[in-house]
Amino acid sequence: MTRIKIFLASSSALAEDRREFEIQINRKNKDWIERDTFLDLVMWEDFLDALSGTCLQDEYNKSIRECDVFVMCSRPRLVSTPKKNLRPPSGSSSFVHDNLSTDT
């Protein structure tokens, strides 16, 4: 079975968006399991009880490097990172930045 690890990064203010993303990934897994593929979603909440020799951010960074896809969700007022600074984490084959703007 092929396992595709997806790291979902976002602020705690986007909890509802993360839950919806997780639901959608789980729905896709029902279809993709027949293709012998599993989408393994990793979120920062998975690390709340993690022990680290340095800091929890180091555990996030390690996990990100082990993932195949990195997805970052943000809203303009929450993140002021210039797009030129957004690049795939080392070792990740894909990078997605989704600006969850409520502007229409």
| Each residue's pLDDT tens digit, 78-101 | 445 555 545 555 555 555 544 444
pLDDT-based confidence at 104, cuts 50/70/90?
very low
pTM (2 d.p.): 0.67
Q: How far is CA 15 from CA 1, 3, 61, 66, in A?
A: 30, 25, 20, 23
- Residue range 2-99 forms a domain whose CATH class is alpha beta
d(CA 69, CA 76): 22
Give 43-64 pLDDT, tens digit per residue. Answer: 877 776 656 667 777 777 888 8
Which residue ranges make up each domain of the chain? 2-99
User: Which run of H or of E encompasses 98?
Assistant: strand 94-99
**Alpha-carbon gap, residue 1 to 96, rounded angstroms:** 24
